[in-house]
Amino acid sequence: MLEEKPWLMSRRLLLKVIGGGAAWLSLNKLTTALAQVSSQAVEPLPGFTGPEANPYWGSVGPFVIYPQKLPLIQLTDRPIQLETPRHYFLTPFTPNAAFYVRWHLDEIPNAVSLSDWRLFLEGNVGKNLALSMSDLMSQFKPVSIAAVNQCSGNSRSRFQPRVPGGQWGNGAMGNAVFTGVRLKDLLESAGVRPGSSQVQFEGLDRGRGPEGKGSHSYLKSLGLSDPVIGETIVAYEMNGEPLPMLNGFPVRLVVPGRFATYWTKALTWIRVLTEPDANYWMSKAYCVPNTLRGNTTPKDVNEGKVEMIPVGTMPVRSFIIAPDGSGKIPEEMPVTVRGIAFSGYGSVVKVEFSWDGGKFWNKAELGENYGQYSFRTWQTTWIPKRTGKYILAVRATDERGNVQPDEGVWNPGGYLWNKIERQEVIVGAAK
Ligand SMILES: Nc1nc2c(c(=O)[nH]1)N[C@H]1C(S)=C(S)[C@@H](COP(=O)(O)O)O[C@H]1N2
Ligand SMILES: [Mo]
């Protein structure tokens, strides 16, 4: 009598369940494929937690799924910090579901009932306002603007020596069309009284904040004489849809050209102040050295030589999105090199591409201009003539003549990185 082998049993059972040899064949293949997947999965993720700067385009972390979101790279879960993977930057607008997420406090709104919610205007105003969403949408003229939202700490993992804070790769940025009402119109409606200096913004999030810093809510302010006040909007739509909860539903501030620290999410209080705002988030966090490019050294910081000022406008940057170095490029094959560029100081007017690490530069073709605060796509065709390793590089110039430098910066907050980006690629024999 044949000895029953457990695997034969299960095979017979499976045949019975699935019914037929063809199914067995595909099941067999599937088992092989699964075995390959699991053997891949046991390989550890690459890391960058040593003294060296992160060499990868993005941050390194697990992919996680949060409500209304595609899988994004997790930096921390309390507070939530999620980075957008590189390939979402092939298009000028970043899908809402792929848009990066950054909060500072852990009690964030999970739901907001629009029947109860109001936007309050208070402080040194002629008349306090409590506006419902329908007031906002019906009493004020809607405006739309394409604008880049970038965290001041985007690319912080490049800093040498390393600095504390979320170790972002390049994906703490995104571009969207925001629709809402002008901050100026709201302020006019409430009536800003004489003697006012700044406007403060507060969202619904609460929490302990950094240990011992006494910062129960995230408060940011803009100077009333700052020209950006005229361009700032209170947005209730992002890419034609309500804002995702994690990106600030029901409304958020959009401060074109400025770093996202001012783009208050779940905005609920707009407060006109008579004194400059000295709260933790203005005077301690998000400050940069008052030097060229916000650059300094650990030594100067330690010796107390550095004057710190709130971070402001985003310097010019550009990125190579494809090719991403993950595959070998065949020799002599035309490659479309693609990416994005932006600057908080004005439209990007030139993007240059180099395939020799930055010795020779050639102008790339610019994509459509969606306004000076938007991502601008660029592309160029490159035909690698020889096999081997190449270092691709990209450099953008804005209308004010700002060009990306080939030096990094260093400051204790890990802000304002805008060094020329490089991408290594391998070109192999075509056959
Ligand atoms: N209410 C509130 N708004 C906030 C923050 C916050 O912690 N709370 N963080 C700011 C910072 S520093 C960043 S980088 C952006 C992130 O915007 P996003 O999550 O929509 O990408 O939100 C800004 N607005
Ligand atoms: Mo940020």
Instruction: Name residues whose C-beta falls within 8 Å of residue 25's C-beta, 6 or more positions apart in sequence.
Output: none
Render pLDDT for 213-224 as a digit per residue (tens, 0 to 9).
767 899 999 999
Query: Is pLDDT above 70 for 30?
Result: no
- Best residue among 100, 263, 279 to mutate for probing ligand 1's pocket (most ligand atoms within 8 Å of CB) is 263
Ligand nearest, relative to CA of residue 173: 1
CATH code of 317-428, in short, is 2.60.40.650
CA separation, residue 7 to residues 11, 12, 35, 67 (Å): 6, 9, 16, 41
Residue 145 phi/psi, 5° resolution?
Answer: -150, 140
Query: Is pLDDT above 50 for 6?
Result: no
For ligand 1, say whether the CB of 266 is within 6 Å of any of its atoms: yes
Nearest atom in ligand 1 to 266's CA? 1
Specify whether the CB–CB gap between 123 and 187 falls below 8 A: no
Amino acid identity at 159 = F
For ligand 1, say whether the CB of 353 is within 6 Å of any of its atoms: no
Question: What is the location of CATH 3.90.420.10 in the chain?
Answer: 10-38+53-285
Query: Is pLDDT above 70 for 195?
Result: yes
- Among the ranges given (2-6, 110-114, 184-188, 420-424), the one the predictor scored with the smallest mean pLDDT: 2-6
Summary mean pLDDT of the chain:
91
Indicate the pLDDT class of residue 25, thresholds 50, 70 and 90: very low
Q: What's the pLDDT score for residue 51?
A: 78
Query: Which one, of 66, 69, 78, 75, lies nearest residue 104 by Cα?
Result: 78
Ligand nearest, relative to CA of residue 415: 2
For ligand 1, say whether the CB of 205 is within 6 Å of any of its atoms: yes
Q: What's the pLDDT score for residue 215?
A: 76
Q: What's the pLDDT score for residue 267?
A: 98
> Average pLDDT in the 370-379 region?
98
Ligand nearest, relative to CA of residue 156: 2
Q: 178 CA distance to ligand 2 centroid (A)? A: 18
Q: What's the pLDDT score for residue 24?
A: 43
Query: Is pLDDT above 50 for 16?
Result: no
**Under CATH, what is the fold of the domain 10-38+53-285?**
Sulfite Oxidase; Chain A, domain 2 (3.90.420)
Q: 262 CA distance to ligand 2 centroid (A)? A: 9
Render pLDDT for 162-182 as a digit per residue (tens, 0 to 9).
999 999 999 999 999 999 999
Q: 151 CA distance to ligand 2 centroid (A)? A: 4
Indicate the pLDDT class of residue 29, thresholds 50, 70 and 90: low
Q: What's the pLDDT score for residue 46?
A: 60
> Average pLDDT in the 102-113 region?
96
Specify whether the CB–CB gap between 171 and 59 falls below 8 A: yes
d(CA 380, CA 322): 11
pLDDT > 90 fraction of the chain, expressed in percent and rounded: 85
Q: What's the pLDDT score for residue 52?
A: 85
- Best residue among 102, 148, 253 to mutate for probing ligand 1's pocket (most ligand atoms within 8 Å of CB) is 102
Residue identifier of the C-alpha nearest atom 9 of ligand 1: 103
Indicate the pLDDT class of residue 431, thresholds 50, 70 and 90: confident
Residue identifier of the C-alpha nearest atom 24 of ligand 1: 264
Query: Which one, of 314, 223, 304, lies nearest residue 260 by Cα?
Result: 314
Indicate the pLDDT class of residue 15, thresholds 50, 70 and 90: very low
Query: Is pLDDT above 70 for 49?
Result: no
Render pLDDT for 237-258 as a digit per residue (tens, 0 to 9).
999 999 999 999 999 999 999 9
For ligand 1, say whether the CB of 104 is within 6 Å of any of its atoms: yes
Indicate the pLDDT class of residue 336, thresholds 50, 70 and 90: very high
Q: What's the pLDDT score for residue 21?
A: 42
CA separation, residue 338 to residues 321, 364, 366, 377 (Å): 6, 9, 10, 7
Question: What is the location of CATH 2.60.40.650 in the chain?
Answer: 317-428
Query: Is pLDDT above 50 for 341?
Result: yes
Render pLDDT for 383-420 as a digit per residue (tens, 0 to 9).
999 999 999 999 999 999 999 999 999 999 999 999 99
pLDDT > 70 fraction of the chain, expressed in percent and rounded: 88
Q: 150 CA distance to ligand 1 centroid (A)? A: 10
Query: Is pLDDT above 80 for 37?
Result: no
Query: Is pLDDT above 60 for 157?
Result: yes
For ligand 1, say whether the CB of 103 is within 6 Å of any of its atoms: yes
Render pLDDT for 66-91 as a digit per residue (tens, 0 to 9).
999 999 999 999 899 999 999 999 99
d(CA 329, CA 337): 12
Q: What is the pTM of this model?
A: 0.89
Render pLDDT for 256-313 as a digit per residue (tens, 0 to 9).
999 999 999 999 999 999 999 999 999 999 999 999 999 999 999 999 999 999 999 9
Q: What's the pLDDT score for residue 68?
A: 98
Q: What's the pLDDT score for residue 43?
A: 56
